[in-house]
Structure 1
Amino acid sequence: MTQPPQPVRRGRGRRPAEQVRSEVLRAAGELLLEEGMGGFTVEKVAALAGASRVTLHKWWPSKGALALDGYFSVVGHTLAFPDTGDIASDLTAQIQAFVHLMRDTRAGRVVPELIGQAQTDPELAAAYRERYSAPRRALAVEALERAKQRGQLRADVDSEVIIDQLWGACYHRLLIPDLPLTDEFAQAIVANLMTGIRDA
């Protein structure tokens, strides 16, 4: 059974701002994964991190923005995009890793809540684009452009559209679960797309 987040034990003396920020992000990430957006509050994060609500409100304009930064602090390592020199293999590996994150981890189960909250929280929507989706997109664009330079993809294909076709398909199954997110699905969408974009 998962243990609930524990408050940070403070020693004597004033903590440096960077340490406080790091502890707040850790507390926010742990609370979000443990309780989801339904149980996530600025007050709980402040108590867990041993920080004041005033400090948190100064650094984050909304509860959603704080939740997203906490989320990013625990899943940021998944942004790595493999570069083996084979774009089909790299895309398949990245999509499968994304599917695994969304399907099999607490972090993945929180994403629909963050997306839903972003519809009415402009600060969260902006933070989601700037800190999460935009960096992921940039890494994928770079990988696709390198593949074009290697002659693996047609030069005229739009990298941004490819990204929407691949990750958009995954988000569709995540948010509208008529069909499951599976490894086979991840392999199939890459294989189908490569048929049309591979440089002959």
Structure 2
Amino acid sequence: MSSGDLGRDTDNPRRPGATPAGPGPTLPDAVRRGRGRRPAQQVRTDILDAAGRLLLAEGMAAFTIERVAAIAGTSKMTIYKWWPSKGALALEGYASKVDDMLAVPDTGDIEADLTTQLLTYVRLLRDTPAGRVVAELIGEAQTDPELVKAFRRVYADPRRAVGRAALQTAQRRGQVRADVNLDTLMEQLWGACLYRLMARADLLTDDFARDLVRNVMGGVRCDRS
């Protein structure tokens, strides 16, 4: 992409050699484009929105670059400028839809805050299409190395940063022991939810989330006997 392309939508369906986006999807509705070219950042935002909506509506089986392009009102060529594979786009589209839901609150009580966050996470995995999508993305990652990289960069690392910040604050407040390995602690909490999603989704309950936080905090809090 040239420097002149960065500030505008580089798609032009009439341009010779452009890859057609394919038939329009039934779900969700395609973006309605006005006259003129969209800024590149708006195109990217529209693509992520289309990817996230399609993924949560129909899952990975129905997720194709062609359908995302049709919904976003862009071309496959433009999508491949930013995402190297279908899986990488799907993962970033998913993250764009769920990130705000997975923030860790700060009430001053780390056990209560972790319980609130884990309940939100468990309900997202159990009660919405997001759980199926996560399972499908994990499966897709086994044969898509670009998706593995994207999972770490777009989803796992940012989620770890949020969790680590909350736990470091709890350490400074004297609620979590200073010698606790926070990476291991995060794996015990959120990793357990993913394991149960994949192995025993029927047991991914609210009580499981509450018990998980209670059990883990019983081993790491400063005031344990």
Bin of the TM-score, shorter chain as denominator length: over 0.9
The superposition leaves residues 55-82 of structure 1 with CA deviations (integer Å, 9 ceiling, x where unpaired) of 1111110001111111112112123111
2:165 is equivalent to residue 148 of structure 1: no
TM-score under structure 2 length normalisation? 0.84
Residue in 2 that maps onto 1:22: 45
2:130 corresponds, among 107, 110, 114, to 107
Residue in 2 that maps onto 1:186: 209
Deviation at 1:134, TM superposition (A): 1.1
Residue in 2 that maps onto 1:82: 105
List alignment gaps of at least 5 residues for structure 2.
1-25
The superposition leaves residues 134-191 of structure 1 with CA deviations (integer Å, 9 ceiling, x where unpaired) of 1111111111111111111111111111111111111111010175111101110111
What does residue range 38-187 of structure 1 map to in structure 2 within 5 Å? 38-177=61-200, 179-187=202-210
Rounded to whole Å, the distance in 1 between the matches of 2:141 and 2:72 is: 24
Deviation at 1:17, TM superposition (A): 1.0
Would the alpha carbon gap of residues 62 and 166 (structure 1) be closer, same or farther in structure 2, given more than 3 Å must change? same
Identity %: 59
- The Cα RMSD (Å) is 1.3
Q: Secondary structure at the match of 1:190?
A: helix
> When you count helix as a share of all residues, which structure comes out higher?
1
- For the 8 Å contact 2:28–2:54, the answer to whether it is kept is yes
Aligned residues: 198
Would the alpha carbon gap of residues 12 and 159 (structure 1) be closer, same or farther in structure 2, given more than 3 Å must change? same
2:144 aligned partner, one-letter code:
D
Rounded to whole Å, the distance in 1 between the matches of 2:131 and 2:201 is: 17
- For the 8 Å contact 2:102–2:120, the answer to whether it is kept is no
The structure that has the greater radius of gyration is 2
List alignment gaps of at least 5 residues for structure 1.
none
1:46 aligned partner, one-letter code:
A
TM-score under structure 1 length normalisation? 0.94
- For the 8 Å contact 2:177–2:220, the answer to whether it is kept is yes
Runs of 4+ that moved beyond 2 A: none
Rounded to whole Å, the distance in 1 between the matches of 2:183 and 2:75 is: 42
Task: Tell me which moved more, 36-45 or 10-19.
Answer: 10-19
